[in-house]
Chain A
Amino acid sequence: MKHLTRFLAMLGLALSVALVHSWVHGPLVVRTGDPKAGRPLPERPETAARDPSGDRPAQANDEPDQPDATVPRGTPGVTPGATVPRQFDVTTFGKFIDFDEAVFLHGFIDSGLVVFVDARSREDHYTAGHIAGAVRLSADMFDAGHPDVDMFMGSYPDDVRIVIYCSGGDCDESESTRARLMMRGYEVSHIYKNGWDEWSVRVGLEKIRVGIDP
């Protein structure tokens, strides 16, 4: 009887603290229903991608297609004269994607099938430079009810494919933003794990036609 009383007291204590915590933390958003599969991507982007300056479309026909490549010429990630490193099948993309996969998906930004989300919490990092076309949505913005969150939800259907990135490394910010997006129904998302640290360097080194917005 003594141990049962103690057990119930511990349950009560934990649930009381959890109640206070939930009140302090604010509401969580839980999406009901089955997970979505996401819209399939066409084999090629419908529109030419941005170049780093952001004001000129990439040249689509300056070199012939690579015969064994899924990624077309003019697609971000395809440097003129370079060999496409591998085939891409978006259905096999996991939670974490690498640079090449991120570049591939970046080619679909203008079609609206893919959106890049900058999850870095500091706005000055975003303004200092970000992947072209990326929308800034940090976890803090969700928690604070930032109007950009509502704007995002109003602008993109919940089956849009989202690529989330932050600075790089383990990058908890991407995970946090992804969790919040998923709770709002955006369940088709990938984390570009190496994030801005890699993108900002490799895009410059490999002269890839993907943008860095100033």
Chain B
Amino acid sequence: MTATSVRVPMAASQGNRWSPVIKIGLLGGGVAIYLALVGILTALANRMIITKVISLGQIILLSVFIIFGYMAAQRAAAGQAKRPIVRCLLSGAIAGLLISLFLSALVVIAPIINLRSVFINASPELFDLLTLGRGVPDGLLLLIGIGVAVGALSAGLFLLPDRLRRSVGMGLLAIPIVSILNSSLFAGRGISALQAAAVFVIALVITFFWQPARTATSQRLSALPTKQQRAVATLAYIILGIGVLLLPLLGPYPAEILDTVGLYILLGLGLNIVVGFAGLLDLGYVAFFALGAYTVGILTSPEIQWVGVQLTWWQALPFAVIVGTLAGVILGIPVLQMRGDYLAIVTLGFGEIIRLIFLSDWLKPLVGGSNGITRIPRALPVPAGSRLSDQQMLFYVILAGILVAAFIATRLKYSRLGRNWAAMREDEDVAQAMGINLVRTKLMAFATGAGLSALSGAIFASKLTSVYPHSFNLLVSINILAVIIVGGLGSIPGVIVGALVLVGLPELLREFAEYRLLVYGAVLVFMMLKRPEGLLPEARRKLELHEADEA
């Protein structure tokens, strides 16, 4: 009996046909209530996306309807050769209805049982947001109506041809992105409805014609002789380079965001060597970051006298990198024999130990204890008479660091050492049998990663002009891990994308700060379940992870 012959009687029974759709609707309802109670909706309710029309909180709520309506339509069409139009639209509407019914139940029941005494976010503001400020009977009907309509519309989106659907999706996505960029970087208060429509149309048109245009361009490019191809590539890189160099001129605040993103890229590049290339899950990566920052602090700050010298930032930098690299080796030796999860826990322990020691009164005379070290000089002082800010100058230091790190990483990746790492990552025993010196290979990975981490630490110290033990908690390690996993383990462009998405976006949305780690956690789980190779996967890693699928 084949699989298809089993499916026929199931599809014939009416009850089973709708149950997957209802399941999606119930799931969507759960997600909507979760988002409401966890407080994301209310926290983002004051960030207007389209002035006086819709806030980011409402957009997030809407996207629940859109995503689950779409999924319901997908479910309804599963296993059918032609997409059944009416069934899909109906499924989307049902999903939307269920979600809005869940939310209405929340609005009605919560005040009766005094939900707020437990869930702090079950506040009048939340109910205002859900009922669109129209009170209980009217607002709820409106919510249900919107739910059904949006659910059906997103099911309609599913019915569009692929190319058009992607373009409409990008158009919708572009509105909040442009608006957030506008309000964060240039202190706007959302864009007007007309501007939003323009953004939507422009994004739609660009995406719609992007694919054919790209194919045509790449065809024409590959038809050129090699020499000219190279010239075009160089030109593209030069333009990109100039673009990057001009970035901090956007202003002091964008520069600060860029600095943070840049630091995470730098850290990510280093951790990527340890985790991505060599497969050693290091959760104590922040320890080397701290050591780098503290080395610079101790050597440069006038507050610390016991060393007897007071260097400039640039003079202290090599020492920071050396201390970091040495620490990488020293902490690497004891964990040489450990694998996988044990390594992760032990490195986590190291990271916490180092932070707690810096924090304790024991070493207070040497490293300042909980008061930290202040008065660390800037790496690049603002030239006299210039109107640039310190953060804008620092961007160039970070950029230089990233270039160095990216250069080291790319060169190492395809070197003998890099191939040894890959072999070790896939199977230690086999690698050893092939004559790879595991001790040396592992220590090299720890040392390189630690050195880069210390470099970022040194820059970090100069960014804040101070170091405190509190800056170096485990969360930093987890953030960096999230960055490289989202980008794609082992992939260098992936680190940049990961940092832009995970660090850049939350920096733009300050209200979002509280939920950052919530989202990181969810993203880690989601990525591991659905796309373990990351957004910009590295070719070999992708093969490794999908070995089982093809077998």
Partners in one complex: no
- Residues of A that sit less than 8 Å from B by CB: none
